[in-house]
Amino acid sequence: MNIFICTAYLLSQPKLTKIKHQNFCYILLSLKNFFDNIPNIKIRAFAKGKAAKQVFDLYKQKDNILIEGSIYIKRMKTVNKNKKKSKVIFVKIHKIHNLPI
């Protein structure tokens, strides 16, 4: 298991869904990038259980946060004639903290 800690900026309002009595929350994040000539990285993040409820209740779009979680990379096929596979980065949130910036 990999451990991922970063600062991020919320690009979207957290969306809460409930599936079989389990809370899931999905958000779009922009990771801060301190290297030159490289833009910020946009990724999708999700949380489940108590962490999902906490994300949905406490945070909104344009907040700066500190995330503790895991990274998942999924290969997805595109619906083109070329049949290329693209990689999508997901972050599973374990804990989330507010940044007073």
Q: In terms of CATH, what superfamily is 4-89?
A: Nucleic acid-binding proteins (2.40.50.140)
pLDDT tens track for 15-57: 888 888 888 998 998 887 777 677 778 888 888 888 888 888 8
Write down the mean pLDDT value for the chain: 82
Residue 77 has pLDDT above 80, yes or no: no
The gap from C-alpha 89 to its chain's centroid, in whole angstroms, comes to 9
* Beta strands 4-10; 22-31: pairing state: antiparallel
Q: Which residue has the higher pLDDT, 76 or 2?
A: 2
Q: Say how far apart CA 75 and CA 62 lie, in whole Å.
A: 29
